[in-house]
Amino acid sequence: MLTEISRFVKHMRRKNTNAETYKTYRYHLNKFIKLILEPEGRLNCNPSEISCLDVDTFIEKLAAQELKAETINRCLTTLNSLYQFLMDEDETGTLESPVIARRHMLKERERLPRPVQDDEVKRFFNGVNDIRDRAMFSLMLKGGLRVSEVAKLTLGDLFLKERKPRIRVMGKNSKERSVYLSKRAAQTLKKWLKKRPESDSKAVFLTYQETAIGVRSIQKRIQKYCKLSGVKLTAHMLRHTFANILVLRDMAVVEIQKLLGHAWVGTTQNYVRANDMKVKDNFYKIMDAVEGVRQ
């Protein structure tokens, strides 16, 4: 199995050289190796020897680690993707995936996006005194960029001299999109660029060693400022807040979808469901009438 897993991960890396999805596949499959193959001495077993009962055991061990249903399902989806890859190569046509959706996939809790409250955003940014960090976080809050998209930005992706400043973003699965910048976000980014040291790296955001900053480093910076300000937020919550602002200003869902780089409009509609003003207004209107409260 180790040989097959290695080939699959290499295939995923070749399939999209600009993405780091392969690392996620490798991470989830390593769980299967550690929990199922290694303890049973089956590192070199044939893929056809893995059964649905092995998947049952895999789920039990993942659940014992108190992993969320979403995380367990991602592990199962990755394992299934491995088998889809191997089935394409199988000349006998007999290989089947041991992952059975109706049996193994767990029911996930449906959660609405969680934006950050205005006062918490202010408290957080009040503590950000580093212009580089302020520029990075502003792109998430005012442009809706994912943390990985911020890390990947290059100088060639910036179009700040245009009448309406914008940046070119390489999103998931190498999907390119344009993100427009508010005046303040553009000003903050320009301030950083004036202080940005000369470097062989074309990355917009650099470490103190003048190399391209990574996703983990950005996340650590956010954690630092969260601790200083007493605010609990993540990079993705800044992105949620951006979407939330647009929804509350009645921007069309399909337009928000384009700005966020969502593949499916249904993903964007989650923000609308989290901020259904019509439901809110109707509720208070009815309850005021029931309780005899004058408008």
Quick one: which of 266, 274, 18, 238 has its CA closest to 128?
A: 238
Query: Rounded distance, CA 199 to CA 241, Å?
Result: 33
Catalytic residue among 11, 168, 236, 258: 236
CB 154 within 8 A of CB 263: no
Query: Rounded distance, CA 234 to CA 230, Å?
Result: 13
Is residue 284 annotated as a catalytic residue, yes or no? no
Quick one: which of 118, 98, 94, 111 has its CA closest to 55?
A: 98
**Please, which residues have CB within 8 angstroms of residue 66's CB and are 6 or more apart in sequence?**
none
Catalytic residue among 26, 132, 166, 262: 262
Catalytic residue among 142, 152, 239, 240: 239
Residue 69 Cα to chain centre, angstroms? 17
Quick one: which of 65, 66, 40, 62 has its CA closest to 51?
A: 40
Catalytic residue among 172, 177, 196, 224: 172
Is residue 172 annotated as a catalytic residue, yes or no? yes
Catalytic residue among 104, 146, 166, 221: 146
Catalytic residue among 22, 25, 225, 271: 271
Is residue 146 annotated as a catalytic residue, yes or no? yes
Is residue 271 annotated as a catalytic residue, yes or no? yes
Is residue 262 annotated as a catalytic residue, yes or no? yes
Catalytic site positions: 146, 172, 236, 239, 262, 271
